[in-house]
Structures are given as structure tokens and as C-alpha cells.
A and B are shown apart, each in its own frame.
Chain A
Amino acid sequence: MFERNQKTIFVLDHTRYFSISSEQYISMDYLKGKPVPESTASGNSIVGTQLSKSLWTCAVESSIEYCRIVWDLFPGKKHVRFIVSDTAAHIVNTWSPSTQNMSHVSNAMMMVSVPSRSIPQSSDYSVIHGLRAAIEALAEPTDEQLQAAHFGCKQIANEGRVICITSARDNTSMKSLEDIFNTVLLQQNALVAPPAKKGLQIDHCHLVILNIVPLGVESLVTNRSLLEISPFLNVEIHTVNAPDISDKLLHLIMGHYDLASTTVTNIPMKEEQNANSSANYDVEILHERAAHTKVCGPDFNFTTSIKPGTAYETVTLKWCTPRGCGSADLQPCVGQYNVTPVDVTSRPSSCLINFLLNGRSVLLEVPRKTGTKTTSHMLSARGGEIFVHSLSIARSAMDEAPSIIDGPGGRVSDYRIPEMGQLLKMSRLVPLKAKPKGKLAQGEHLWRRLPRYFPRTANVTILFNLQRQLSWLPHFLHLIVKEDMDKQDEVRCQQQIHELYKSASRGDLLPFSNSNNARLKVSKTKDQYRLFYRELEQLIQLNAHTPHHKNLLESLQSLRAAYGDAANKSEPSSAHLRSYTESPLSPERLEPTNSMSSSSSSILKASKRRMSSCGQRSLLDIISSAERSQSNKRLDFSGRLCTPLGQTAKLYPDFGNKEKDILTTGIVSSNLKDESIRS
């Protein structure tokens, strides 16, 4: 979890020596448009058109470049700090994520600026202050380490790397620097021990000393590769000319973070001057080495080369002209890694970057031994970040897939796929800022909200097949599955259930769309309502979130009874009712029974409630609804009258005669509404 490269600290020597020039001159002469006549040119012109960076500038720009790469490739994971040392150590940033970014560092560096040339040489000015501060900084925990401690982790691994850019006179002074560092490190670890308990124990530190000198100056300090000073400390020393320090750090960073370089070759780019032709360019990018090693196979090799001026290998992959390959295409990807261009400001780099940031992806080819080529990698950008995807190029055991339609269930033709599609679109996930409150364990809050009732095929549902024909149905179904059904919703649903009962009483046929319905047997009209009721009951039961649902369920069960369909769920329903009557939300409800007379009274009650609760209704509405409920009552009664005692009332003996008329009038076309799907 906490590797050595998790913490890196740059210690920048800010003593007087660093104000001197690096002695590498940059010409600005070519910038002149036409040669300026001698007479008008000022005497300073020679100085002005040639300039040189100071050692300080070289140190700052190369160390900032180092952390640019780190932060691009390991956002939020690897941390880099800067400490500037002169008469004291100046802390540029902390381990806190808010200061771990380029703009914070460069703003802070603005205030530091180049060391003044006028300050006197004094022993007060030293890089030692910075090294001491670096060791203290290593002992400070990062946010991740604090979190580990918070989770009760006792042994928090704590390693780090200090890169010190300084300039020493000779090996002796370098040796003393090393010794002091080692002593301070031991002292710091002693502080961690129980009495003081300051910070974290430093398990290991890797000290990289870059001894820089201006161009053309010989240093008395000898290079030294990694040497173990103590079990806690490894030191390496490099002497470099100031202008080469960036190359040195680029070389070092490859090892520090196990990076690899890929050169994308053959990128076609239009020239501004010559829009018709395009020249090919190369762009070098950096990423984790694993992007190469994850892709492996016996019959191809990565072509590697070493670019002039560098000391590391780069793998050459060929740009594959994208053929309608959007970044949407799902590639078999075994690893994805952030990338960053080596030269972020060059024109080829920015062309490639912009191409990718605009949403297109690029496949990269590797030659196979057989001479054919395979796309081994893909570059694509998402959310403003560019990734290299390592593609799986080995043979897959999953070629020649069996088709799903040849498998079980493959030949069923009436799956409710369009409705399922609607459901998919409605249950589409979006990124939230925070977890929705009051929900359950991880992931659970999501699937709990998928439908509670969803018949798989069209031939096992009546409700959903009628949605197109009954215009009120989609909205009704939507209301029923609402988790937070309120009084008003309930009233609306009650009304619809009531309407449905009325059309059932009239013997209206349900308007099925399929043609065979035309031949529907007379005796089946009863069936269709019974099944409709039963399905509706199941739907409400599965979605019973509120007391309002329970009310609906009860009315429906009463209606089923009224329609001569025995409510075989009497036990649970009475249980529901009990819980309902105890609910403070609806105190005006009557004690229900299972008899037919009570069913009509419940309808009456419902309509009364509607009367009292709805202020906007007209007088006509109120009267007509009251009359409706009266007529209902009468209807029930006459039905019972016609039937001998002990038998079920046969209510509508003259169904068949009306059949044809009703069929034509009953069909109401309406569009399938989305809301109705979620049930």
C-alpha cells in the first residue's frame, strides 16, 4: 500500500551559488523580422537576444517537470513535496491534496524566486536546513496513512525518497552532507519512540543527490551509484551539468515509478502551410510499465529503441488510422493506465492530445513475428484524462460464441423487451455527489428500486397489454407503484378502480389489441376482469409501501368479492386492514368486513371522502358521484335479489347481446407511457 515512491521530497538549494548562470545560452536573435539598422539598435541588443537560465531556474523547472509527470500519471496517489533551503527551510507544499498540484507549487515558487546575488557567503546559507526539514516531512503522515491509522492499522509502512538538488565543493563535503542526513534520520526515528511519539517511523529513505554545475565546469564530486549507508538509508550521487538535469530526472523517474515510454509513430498531421499533404510525426508518451508487460504473447516483440540524448528504451507502436472506431467500442482491455506526453508543449504532442480529448480513440499496432500486425493498445480520453488501454491479444477461449437464441428460452417470441428497454432507460445510473440518505448497504439501495412486478413475457400479463388501449391505465399503474403514494394518489386510484368495476358491471369487454380477441367467447368476459383484478391485486400487494396501498388493496379485494371472485387472500388482507385501522393517517375508515354489502359501503365511503377532501370539484361532480355510488348500491342489491339464496349471484345474464357494440366503443388508443413500466 505505501510504497517508496508514495512520498517524494525535493530539497532545492537556494543559496547564492544557484543564482549563477548555467552557461547555456538561448538565442533570441532569429526572432527579428528584418535586420534592424545598427543606428537604431540599442547597445544592449547583444545581451538581450541571448539569455541563459540560472542554476536555480534549471533546478526548479526540472523538478516541476518531474512532479508534472507524477501527478499526471498517478493523480491523488503519489505525492511530491518541495522544500527550499537557504538560511532556513521553506516549506512549499504539504502532503495535503490541495497543495499537491502544479499551480500551487508554481505560485509558491513565484514568491521564492531566484536567490539574490548580493547576499554574502555565509554558513547560515545551507542545504542542510532543507534536508532536516525533509526528514521531518517524511515522518509526517499522508492522508492515506492517517486513514490507515484511523482504521486501526498499527504498523504503517513509511518509506520515501528525498531528491536533493545542490552543489557541493568536493567528495568530503558530500560525505558530510550524507552523514548529517543519516544522523538526523536516526534522531527523527528516535523521536517516534514512545515518550515523544512524534510522527511516523521512517522505515527507509532513498536519498538522491544531484550535484549540479554550470555547463563546462568540472566537478570534484564523483558520481556514485546506489549505496546502502544503513538499513534505513540508501544514497546515490549524480553530478550533472545544469542544462542536463531535466534529462537526468526523466531518466531517474522511469525507475522511481517503474514507468515505460511508448513512441506513437506515423501520426499523420496536416501542415498549416500545406493542407493537402500530411507529414508523419512521432509522439513519445510515458505510462506505467505494466501497460507493456500486461500485453504479452509469444509471437510478437515490441520494437524498442533509444532516442538520442536519452538513456532509456522506448517502445515504438504504430498509429492505426481510426476506422469509425469511437471510444464507445468495447475493447477487450486488460489494463488501463494514465499517460502523459514527454514533451507536453510540442506541436505533435498537442495535436495528438487534442485529437484524443475531442473524444476519438486511437488503436496502436504492434508487428507480429509472422509479419501481420495486431492492435495491442488503445489510446483514449475520458473525463479529460488520457489513458492507454492494454488490449488482450492472446487467443481467447471465447471465440465462436454460441448464440443466445440457440440456448434455453431463445425461441420465445413474446418477451417484453421494449418495456424492459424502457425500464433500462429509467434505471439508468448517474454519478451522485453523495450517497442517498437512509438507504441500505452498498449497492442494495439500487436494486431494491428495480421493479417489484415485471412479467417476463406478454402472454402472462393482462395489465401491461392493455396499456395502449386504456388511456388511464399507464398513469394509474405509475401511481400504484409510487413508493410515496399520498392521499390524492390514493383517491385517484380508488376512482379508477371504481370506474373499472362499473365497466365490469356493464359487461364492457376489455379492449385487447390482438385480433383473436374478436372471437372472445362470451363466457370469457368474466375471466378477463377476474384476471385483471387478480393481477392488479398482486401488483398492489408487491408494492404495498404505504397505508394508502393497503386501502387500495382492500377496496380491490372487496370488488373482487363483489364480482363473484372469492378473495382467497382473506387472512392477509384482514391483517393489512388491522394495521391500516391502527394507522393514525386515516382515522375515518370503517371497520371492514368481507361481505358484499360492505364493499359498496366502502365505495360510498371513498366517494364521500373524495367529496370532503376535494375542494375544486363542482357541485355537479359531487352530486353525480354520490348518485353513482347510490346506483352501485342498487345494482348489487338487484343482483342478489335475482339469485336464489345460497347461490352466487349471476349478475349480468345478458352480456352476449351487447358484446359487439361495446367492443368498438371501448377501444381508446393511447401511447404507451414510460411511467407505467416501472411497477
Chain B
Amino acid sequence: MPTIIALDASLSMLRPVPGRNDHTYQSLALKGIQHLLDNLTASGKLEHVALVLYTTVCELKVDFTRDYDQIRQAIKKIDPLDKACLLTMLKTSVSLMATWGTQNLLQLVVFTDCGPGFGSTSISNFLEGYAGKEAEPEYAWLKILATYNLNFICLGVHADLYFTRGVALHQQLLDAAALKGQLFMTKPVKNVETGDSTPGCSHKSELGRTALFELIERLCDCSYKSTEVTLKCGLYFRMEGQVLLWPPPMPYEQSALYVGDPTIRHIDQRIDVCGFLALSDIGSPATLSRHWVMPKVEREKPTRRSGGLAAVVKPPKLTLDTSNPHYELEKLEQDIRDFYMKDTKEAEESGDDADVSVMLKHPTTPQAEQQKDNLCVLLHGALKLENMAALVLLGEKWYGFMYAYTDLKKKSNFMLNILPPGSHVIPWLGDLELLGFSTDLAPGETASFPVRAERRSYSQSSVVWIRQASLQSDVQKVLRHAKKMPDKTQHFYKELNRIRRAALALGFVELLEALALLLEKETTQLTLNGVSTECTLQLQHAATELRKTSNRDIKSTIVPLQKATAADTTTAPAPAQGGYLY
């Protein structure tokens, strides 16, 4: 989910936050950006982030990167400039995002004090101009923007009329242009009537670092949550595990089968491995989206105060739970593991069978996670080894496939390709619901990929004579074979019948006559050149047969003259009347 962080760098951002002398809006916004980056780092540093500053102009400070330190450096010095123009920034974002195409979900996070803008660059001015001109090309970029996810971190307090007016305008803009947007702002403080509390105090609780960080966390929960599903590969409990899909699969809008409104579909919470296919059998089918499949790890939330409470918590010892349905199996695994361990360590305590430790350590450190076996890694390894993919069921009649993908840098990871819903989405695999194991085949039956389609026009010898050249080359071919008879007698008649059938289908009887004439001419020529009588006999025979109206029937086929080879007399007799076989 490529993200542009847009920071309002207008002069109004330099105002101190009411009641907070230590913070300006800008310094608070910078804290917010830091916290957002902290959150993104904690969830794996997968997002590409760019930073833009906007005033009346919009400047790209850091292009898309996963190296968040670049952004952290860039926000160290921000030169504030005149006034904010939100629309310039939005328009620029569209062009900045263009490299990502339409396959990715694009996000915008705007840190602003929601200034309404001034004069010609104000939001209200834009809304006036936009009304009624939605379809005009100058506003075409808004259509693209509508596919993005816009998040506004609105910095301000509700007692500030300037802020609330600005927020209202932002919302109007989102509504008018049908943009997918969300305005994140602090909750208004309710207990204003308590007389003794100074206004400063109430502001302090309304907008400060804590309140802002809450906004950022809400934003991350809404927009940067990776999808967590259960991957299941058979019935054994170890062949099942929580995995994260990144980027999160987008909902699919499926149009109704016959009538009605389209339905929005999400993939199931559990995805089942149905079986396995060779990657070479799958080929490159059209996919909706691709995702990394990563084992889920319990991560600690980034602490708000770095170094504050970062004291290492002692990993709690987790005893195996006897009420766990897999207690027996887990205990067995643990016992076997201990059995091997004691082998290697030559444990000093004599292997008294009675007290096998059933303690499992709860892994918290990354090292521990790396040491803990995981279904994803096992499946990935086997798929890579065999060059195969696992077909997975993502929902009702909705499939995908998982495979090991090695990128240009030879790094290998586990991928999921989500296919469009339906069971007939890969023609060469046939109906995916009809896949089974070879044990399902009847004895003696064989089955393999690809599932063959009916023959298309290009894989059968179609006759199309729309261009003169193709007709001529077909006729030439017959004549070529004619010259080489008797060697090519079979070919000659095959081609002749092909042309004849095509001509009859097209009602092209003129061609039959023309072809008969050509054959006769050829006969004459060959006779002059003293070519074998067999050849001339066959040509004469073919010409006669072509002219016969009785042969203009779907079932008739012209067959070679049988008598010709038998009657090897030097004088060429007229074609025998009754000598052909039908």
C-alpha cells in the first residue's frame, strides 16, 4: 500500500497549540509522522512511503522508499511557506502515484490544521467551480483520486471555529468528489461547564501528543492492518497456522449472476490447501492480486516513549494446557524432542522416565521466533523443492494458489496469487471443482494437464478464401500434388476434397468448374511432356468427378481411380465408367 505522507507546511502550522506552549501544530505533526513511521516499522517495514510538503506549491521531499530514516531526516528541517492549498497537493499526488498503476491500494496521509485556504486556492472556491462540471476533463484526476484511500490527521481543537470550519470544508470536498476519505480528529471535550478548569487545561487534554498518537493508532488500525487468516493443510493440527497476507487482499465486487446488485466479497478467514499442482501446469493465469504469505508473530506494540518502559519482561513460562485438544500430541512432540536433546547433551540427570519436562518457553524475542518451526517455512521449502504450487480455497468457488517465489536478488518468499472468483477461471486446468487425486481415477483411466479445449479455427485446417491469395495458394497446392502423382496421389485427393468441400459449403460451384478445367489443362500439358499415364488418368478422372452434380453432396468424396494402376497399357484409355470405388 504505497503511501504519501503529506505535511501542511503553511505558516498557520507554526501557531502554538492552544494551552501547549511546548508545541506548535507543526512540531506536533512531526511527532505524528514519527509515530506513524514507528508503527509501520513495527509491522515489518513493508510499506513504501513518500513525503511531500505542501503550501501553494507541492514539493516531493522523499520519493517512495522503505528506508524510513530518509523521511525522519527530511522532517528535521521544514521551511514553512505561505498558505496551504490542499487541491494542488491532491492533484500532485495523483501524478506521483501514477507509477503504481491500478494493482495497488494507494494511500494518502495528510497532516494538516485543516485551513480552508485563501481566495482562488481555497477549498470553497474549488467546490464552486467544480459543481456541475464533474465530467469535464480538467477534473478527470479526481476520478483517479477517488480510488485512493485518503486519511486526514486533523490537528486542531473543537473550540477553535477556524478549525471546525476548515474540517467541515474538507468533509464537503470529500463528499462532493466522492472520495474515499476519513478525517481523524480528537474528540471534543465535553466538560466545559466545569467552571474552575482553565481553558488551557481542557485544551491540553484535547490535543497533545497522547491524543495525537491515539489518532495515529486509529489510522493504522483502519488502514494498515495486514490480513490475518488461518492456513490449513490437512487435518493435523501442526499443519494449520495463522498467517499474514500482505498487501491486504482488497474486497472483490462480484456482479450478480443474473440480476440484482453486485456483492462485495472478502476471502474467508480460513484458507484450505486442496492439493498441489506443478507450476508448469498452472502457467501464468490472470490473477486479481498477489500477496506475501508470512507467518504471524506476536509483536509488541511500539512503545510510545522509546526507552521508557522497555525493560525486558521475563518470558512467562507456559505449561502445556491439559485441556488443549492437542495436549497429547504436543506432549508427545515435547517428549520426543527432549529424548533427542538428551541424546545430544548427554544429560547429566539419568533419564528417569517419570518426569519429562513439559514446559514450553513462550517466545518473545525474534531469535526465538526464528528458531520455532513454522508451517509456512515447511510448505514453502517443499513447494520450492518440487517446483509446485498449492491450490487453496479462499471462499465459495474462489481459489488461489501459493508458491515459492524467488526474486531477482535470489531471495525466496511465499506467495499467494488470488484468482478471480469462479471455478472456471483457468481454462487449461478445467473446472477447479473437478480436480481430484489420481486415486479417484477409474482403473486404466489417465488424466493430465492441460485440459484440452475444442479445436479452434487456427488449430484445424480452416479454409478461408476471403483474400484471393489464400484461394490461389490452395489451388496451387493441389496442382503441385497433381504433378507428383502417383507418389502424391493420396495427398492430391485429400487436398482436392478439402477444396471441394469448402467450395460446396460456400456455394462456390464456379470454383469446381474452374478447377476441373485447370486439371484438364494440366493433363494436356503432362501428356505433351510424356509424363506417366497414371498421372494423367487420375487428373482426367478427378476433373470428371468434380463436374458431376451427383458429387455435390455432403457425403460424397472423390476417391482415386483404382483401375489406373492395374491397366498399365501404353495407350491411354478413357476413364472407365464403372471402375471407381465409393
- Is there a chain B Cβ closer than 8 Å to A580's Cβ? no
- Is there a chain A Cβ closer than 8 Å to B200's Cβ? no
Cα distance, A530 to B102, chains bound together (Å): 59
- Is there a chain A Cβ closer than 8 Å to B411's Cβ? yes
Set of chain B residues within 8 Å of A246, measured between Cβ atoms: 466
Within the complex, the shortest CB–CB distance from B381 to chain A, in Å, comes to: 4
**A443, B337: Cβ atoms closer than 8 Å:** no
Could you give, for residues 21-65 of chain A, a 1 whenever the CB lies within 8 Å of some chain B CB and a 0 otherwise? 000001010111110110011101101110111101100111011
**A430, B435: Cβ atoms closer than 8 Å:** yes
Could you give, for residues 382-421 of chain A, a 1 whenever the CB lies within 8 Å of some chain B CB and a 0 otherwise? 1111110110111111111111111111111001111011
Cα distance, A519 to B465, chains bound together (Å): 85
Cα distance, A329 to B407, chains bound together (Å): 13
Cα distance, A396 to B329, chains bound together (Å): 42
Q: Which of A394, A411, A427, A453 has the most chain B CB atoms inside 10 A of its CB?
A: A427
Cα distance, A410 to B507, chains bound together (Å): 71
- Is there a chain A Cβ closer than 8 Å to B501's Cβ? yes
Size bin of chain B's contact surface = 35 or more
Binds B, one of A151-159, A230-238, A620-628: A151-159
Chain B contacts with A in 428-446, Cβ cutoff 8 A:
428-431, 433-438, 440-441
- A408-B297, A412-B373 given; A31·B476 CB < 8 A: yes
- Is there a chain A Cβ closer than 8 Å to B283's Cβ? yes
**B437, A428: Cβ atoms closer than 8 Å:** yes
Chain A contacts with B in 336-372, Cβ cutoff 8 A:
336, 338, 340-341, 343-346, 349-350, 353, 357
**B430, A26: Cβ atoms closer than 8 Å:** no
Within the complex, the shortest CB–CB distance from B31 to chain A, in Å, comes to: 27
- Is there a chain A Cβ closer than 8 Å to B57's Cβ? no
- Is there a chain B Cβ closer than 8 Å to A636's Cβ? no
**B437, A401: Cβ atoms closer than 8 Å:** no
- Is there a chain A Cβ closer than 8 Å to B544's Cβ? no
Binds B, one of A169-177, A179-187, A433-441, A499-507: A433-441
- Is there a chain B Cβ closer than 8 Å to A102's Cβ? yes
- A330-B282, A344-B458, A397-B247 given; A31·B479 CB < 8 A: yes
Cα distance, A461 to B258, chains bound together (Å): 53
- Is there a chain A Cβ closer than 8 Å to B13's Cβ? no
**A418, B475: Cβ atoms closer than 8 Å:** no
Q: Across the two chains, which residue of chain A brings its CB closest to B333?
A: A460
Within the complex, the shortest CB–CB distance from B167 to chain A, in Å, comes to: 31
Within the complex, the shortest CB–CB distance from B150 to chain A, in Å, comes to: 18
- Is there a chain A Cβ closer than 8 Å to B117's Cβ? no
- A107-B554, A430-B435, A447-B233 given; A341·B458 CB < 8 A: yes
**B381, A420: Cβ atoms closer than 8 Å:** yes
- Is there a chain B Cβ closer than 8 Å to A148's Cβ? yes
- A443-B393, A520-B343 given; A432·B441 CB < 8 A: yes
Set of chain B residues within 8 Å of A411, measured between Cβ atoms: 370-371
Could you give, for residues 389-428 of chain B, a 1 whenever the CB lies within 8 Å of some chain A CB and a 0 otherwise? 0110100110000010101010111100000000100011
- Is there a chain B Cβ closer than 8 Å to A495's Cβ? no
Set of chain A residues within 8 Å of B466, measured between Cβ atoms: 61-62, 65, 246
**A429, B435: Cβ atoms closer than 8 Å:** yes
Set of chain A residues within 8 Å of B272, measured between Cβ atoms: 443-444, 446-447
Within the complex, the shortest CB–CB distance from B410 to chain A, in Å, comes to: 9
- A383-B428, A409-B377 given; A524·B505 CB < 8 A: no
Q: Which of B257, B475, B520 contacts A31 (CB 8 A)?
A: B475
**A462, B336: Cβ atoms closer than 8 Å:** yes
**B379, A420: Cβ atoms closer than 8 Å:** yes
Q: Which of B350, B403, B438 contacts A521 (CB 8 A)?
A: B350
The main secondary structure of chain B at its interface with chain A is mixed
Cα distance, A382 to B438, chains bound together (Å): 21
- Is there a chain A Cβ closer than 8 Å to B328's Cβ? yes
**A446, B275: Cβ atoms closer than 8 Å:** yes
- Is there a chain A Cβ closer than 8 Å to B378's Cβ? yes
- A330-B403, A345-B470 given; A48·B518 CB < 8 A: yes
Could you give, for residues 108-146 of chain A, a 1 whenever the CB lies within 8 Å of some chain B CB and a 0 otherwise? 011111100000000000000000000000000000000
**B435, A52: Cβ atoms closer than 8 Å:** no
Chain B contacts with A in 442-478, Cβ cutoff 8 A:
447-459, 462-473, 475-476
- Is there a chain B Cβ closer than 8 Å to A451's Cβ? yes
**A26, B459: Cβ atoms closer than 8 Å:** no
Set of chain A residues within 8 Å of B115, measured between Cβ atoms: none
**B103, A396: Cβ atoms closer than 8 Å:** yes
Set of chain B residues within 8 Å of A450, measured between Cβ atoms: 233-235, 239, 273, 275
Set of chain A residues within 8 Å of B353, measured between Cβ atoms: 523, 526-527, 530
**B386, A421: Cβ atoms closer than 8 Å:** yes
Chain A contacts with B in 513-537, Cβ cutoff 8 A:
514, 516-517, 519-521, 523-524, 526-528, 530-531, 534-535
Cα distance, A410 to B369, chains bound together (Å): 8
Cα distance, A435 to B502, chains bound together (Å): 41
Within the complex, the shortest CB–CB distance from A273 to chain B, in Å, comes to: 16
Binds B, one of A68-76, A197-205, A467-475, A486-494: A68-76
Could you give, for residues 174-208 of chain B, a 1 whenever the CB lies within 8 Å of some chain A CB and a 0 otherwise? 00000000000000000000000000000000000
Could you give, for residues 247-290 of chain A, a 1 whenever the CB lies within 8 Å of some chain B CB and a 0 otherwise? 00000000000000000000000000000000000000000000
Could you give, for residues 495-520 of chain B, a 1 whenever the CB lies within 8 Å of some chain A CB and a 0 otherwise? 00000011011111111011001101
- Is there a chain B Cβ closer than 8 Å to A672's Cβ? no
- A383-B450, A442-B433 given; A409·B372 CB < 8 A: yes
**B454, A75: Cβ atoms closer than 8 Å:** yes
**B462, A415: Cβ atoms closer than 8 Å:** no
Q: Which of A54, A297, A527 has the most chain B CB atoms inside 10 A of its CB?
A: A527
**B501, A398: Cβ atoms closer than 8 Å:** no
- Is there a chain B Cβ closer than 8 Å to A660's Cβ? no
Chain B contacts with A in 303-356, Cβ cutoff 8 A:
328-329, 332-333, 335-337, 339-340, 342-344, 346, 350-353
Q: Across the two chains, which residue of chain A brings its CB closest to B524?
A: A40
- Is there a chain A Cβ closer than 8 Å to B83's Cβ? no
Q: Which of B103, B388, B409, B507 contacts A392 (CB 8 A)?
A: B103
Set of chain A residues within 8 Å of B295, measured between Cβ atoms: 407-409
- Is there a chain A Cβ closer than 8 Å to B274's Cβ? yes
**B100, A397: Cβ atoms closer than 8 Å:** yes
Within the complex, the shortest CB–CB distance from B525 to chain A, in Å, comes to: 6
- Is there a chain B Cβ closer than 8 Å to A448's Cβ? yes
- Is there a chain A Cβ closer than 8 Å to B98's Cβ? yes
Q: Which of A394, A443, A526 contacts B433 (CB 8 A)?
A: A443
**A431, B457: Cβ atoms closer than 8 Å:** no
Set of chain A residues within 8 Å of B473, measured between Cβ atoms: 345
- Is there a chain B Cβ closer than 8 Å to A667's Cβ? no
Within the complex, the shortest CB–CB distance from A93 to chain B, in Å, comes to: 13
Set of chain A residues within 8 Å of B455, measured between Cβ atoms: 384
- Is there a chain B Cβ closer than 8 Å to A454's Cβ? yes
**B505, A455: Cβ atoms closer than 8 Å:** no
Within the complex, the shortest CB–CB distance from B378 to chain A, in Å, comes to: 5
**A397, B454: Cβ atoms closer than 8 Å:** no
Q: Across the two chains, which residue of chain A brings its CB closest to B377?
A: A409
- Is there a chain A Cβ closer than 8 Å to B558's Cβ? no
Chain B contacts with A in 1-54, Cβ cutoff 8 A:
1-2, 44, 46-48
Set of chain B residues within 8 Å of A526, measured between Cβ atoms: 353
Chain A contacts with B in 82-108, Cβ cutoff 8 A:
101-102, 106-107
Cα distance, A412 to B369, chains bound together (Å): 10
**A68, B464: Cβ atoms closer than 8 Å:** yes
Q: Which of A47, A68, A402, A430 contacts B411 (CB 8 A)?
A: A402
- Is there a chain A Cβ closer than 8 Å to B294's Cβ? yes
Would you give 22 A-B contacts (Cβ < 8 Å), ordered by A? A37-B528, A49-B514, A52-B510, A53-B510, A114-B507, A151-B258, A326-B280, A383-B452, A384-B450, A390-B286, A394-B99, A396-B290, A401-B407, A401-B413, A417-B378, A425-B276, A431-B435, A431-B451, A450-B273, A460-B333, A530-B353, A542-B235
**Told that A72-B458, A109-B507, A385-B456 touch, could you supply 8 new A-B pairs with CB distance under 8 A?**
A44-B517, A53-B510, A110-B505, A113-B507, A412-B371, A428-B275, A450-B273, A519-B343
Closest 3 CB pairs of A and B: A394-B101, A409-B374, A450-B234
